[in-house]
């Protein structure tokens, strides 16, 4: 074998080894956006990730970290906002509507589909307290989050900070209610700016076809509770 042929042969083998090594390295690198086992099961159940519809909507699941009213992490393997496709479509539309009204604001999701096992944990922590009105009792049927038909949202500014709404998310008090806002304003419990911010959020979500509730300014449903419970499956 001539010297030139030997060199060519050696170089060919070297290139092949490098290619195989590169492929192996790529296959071993985990995809940071890949579904966890729980997320995969939620997707298999017919739910979708809101970022499949609109990646500009911010997701910060409160129960995926310990900074919530229970003081501990509840979603250990769920970091994406899953929901029914119809809800995702309407929420993506709400984002478009918001941008037409206020280009400087953005929707952020604090909670979406919630497995019934987590709901039972939540209820156990508030049962018998004055916070019962703010947590669905799974013994009376699934809550809207447990059906993938509810979403908790607020508005953030261009710096990523939530705009004032008169109460924190998951605040269990009168200031969270939407059906007494005029009274809260008169009593000085919320400011005119907070009142107007709530109205903006509600206008955007309602225009997109979603339903507010009386107890929580941040919560919006896809369907009436009776219809949702009669037609939708509980998320296990």
* C-alpha–C-alpha distance, residues 102 and 104, integer Å: 5
What is the per-residue pLDDT for 32?
Answer: 76
The residue extents of the domains of the chain are: 1-30, 33-231
For residue 151, list its beta bridge partners.
Answer: 220
pLDDT for position 13: 52
Tokens representing residue 219 in the block: 């919560």
**Closest CA relative to residue 68, chosen from 135, 15, 10, 19:** 135
Q: Mean pLDDT for the chain? A: 89
- In this structure, whether the domain defined by 33-231 belongs to CATH 3.10.300.10 is answered with no
Per-residue pLDDT for 28 more than 70?
Answer: no
The tokens of 143 are what?
A: 């809550």
Q: What confidence tens digit (pLDDT) does each residue in 191-236 have?
A: 999 999 999 999 999 999 999 999 999 999 999 999 999 999 999 8
pTM: 0.84
| H-helix or E-strand spanning residue 49 | strand 48-49
Query: Based on the number of CB atoms within 10 Å of its own CB, is 91 exposed (0-12), middle (13-18) or buried (19 or more)?
Result: buried
Average pLDDT over residues 44-66: 97
84 three-state secondary structure: coil
Query: What are the pLDDT digits (tens) for 84-113?
Result: 999 999 999 999 999 999 999 999 999 999
What's the pLDDT at 216? 96
């Amino acid at each position: 074998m001539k010297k030139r042929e030997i060199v060519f042969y050696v170089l060919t083998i070297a290139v092949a080894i490098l290619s195989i090594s590169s492929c192996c390295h790529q296959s071993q690198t985990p995809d940071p956006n890949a579904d966890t086992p729980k997320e995969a099961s939620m997707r298999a159940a017919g739910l979708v990730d809101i970022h499949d519809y609109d990646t500009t909507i911010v997701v910060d699941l409160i129960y995926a970290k310990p900074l919530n009213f229970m003081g501990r992490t509840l979603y250990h393997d769920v970091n994406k906002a899953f929901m029914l496709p119809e809800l995702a479509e309407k929420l993506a539309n709400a984002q478009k509507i918001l941008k037409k009204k206020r280009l400087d604001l953005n929707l952020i999701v604090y909670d979406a589909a919630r497995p019934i096992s987590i709901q039972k944990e939540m209820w156990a922590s508030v049962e018998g307290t004055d916070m019962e009105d703010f947590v669905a009792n799974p013994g009376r049927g699934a809550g809207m989050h447990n059906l993938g038909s509810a979403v908790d949202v607020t508005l953030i500014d261009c710096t990523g900070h939530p705009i004032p709404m008169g109460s924190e998310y998951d605040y269990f008090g009168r200031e969270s209610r939407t059906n007494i806002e005029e009274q809260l304003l008169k009593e000085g419990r919320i400011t005119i700016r907070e009142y107007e911010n709530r109205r903006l959020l509600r206008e955007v979500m309602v225009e997109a076809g979603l339903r507010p509730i009386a107890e929580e300014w941040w919560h919006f449903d896809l369907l009436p509770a009776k219809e949702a419970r009669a037609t939708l499956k509980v998320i296990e």
